[in-house]
Chains A and B, each alone.
Chain A
């Protein structure tokens, strides 16, 4: 996903404040950004909210974009970073939920739960996908990010490398380790399940 001539023209128009260029860019990327956010955030309303934040950040920081990657990679990078930030926030809120509840505050986002099923999953795979998502949540952040982009979003290693600003071999390593970790976790789950 290197910078193309069309990208250059689009970026120049965006930097000039052209609203139709911004609308075009949003239309080009909205589905993908939403899908990416949904895969991380596990809630459709929150994913749309986050997708809006991604485009607002793109709008506000277009001046600082140096065209070192394609505009798509840059937009997806913002989406991934914002999604991971939001997950960290929800996990922190959950950890201290008992404290905030003493002051009468509602738990900030109870929908970030372990019972979520991706709406795009086939019916016969729903239960297994729930188990898999539970395991994915326990992965270290970079492995989590890479695995979701590859397995759920179907991005190629090269695209993931550009988004995460890593080498191709680093991405391969991340996905390999993520898969190994998931196999280990699932192995424990199914062993315990068989013992029941």
Chain B
């Protein structure tokens, strides 16, 4: 057979095709799958919110904890300044603390 004939016949081989029917009860299967997807989405949303809340709580905790330690370290700096200025020779911090607190 001529090459061009073959090409033409091959290009036309999909002509007059029959429709392939879908299996019955497609909508039922679709509905069931959509129900599963919807349930999975609800779970995913709940887990996402839980993760967000945990992260927010952890961040707030870290923030307040950091703030507190910053205040304590600034108190230590002030105490150190007092010691240097008024009691350069002493190493007795308890006396200094008492002095600072009464002032």
Contacts and interface: CB of A to CB of B under 8 A. Distances in A.
B103 interface: no
Interface residues of B, number: 25
A120 B15 CA distance: 10
Interface string A95-139: 000000000000000000000001111100100110110000000
Contacts of A55: 30
B21 A121 contact: no
Contacts, number: 80
Nearest to A119: B20
B6 A190 contact: yes
B3 A187 contact: yes
A125 B3 contact: no
Contacts of B9: 128
A118 B23 CA distance: 16
B26 interface: yes
Interface residues of A, number: 35
A23 B34 CA distance: 13
Interface string B1-45: 001001101111111111111110011011001100100000000
Contacts of A191: 3
B37 A120 contact: no
B21 to A, nearest CB: 7
A52 B33 contact: yes
A151 B22 CA distance: 20
A44 B27 CA distance: 16
B14 A129 contact: yes
Given A125-B15, A132-B13, A191-B3, 14 more contacts: A26-B30, A30-B27, A34-B22, A44-B20, A48-B23, A119-B20, A120-B17, A121-B17, A122-B17, A122-B18, A128-B13, A129-B13, A183-B11, A190-B3
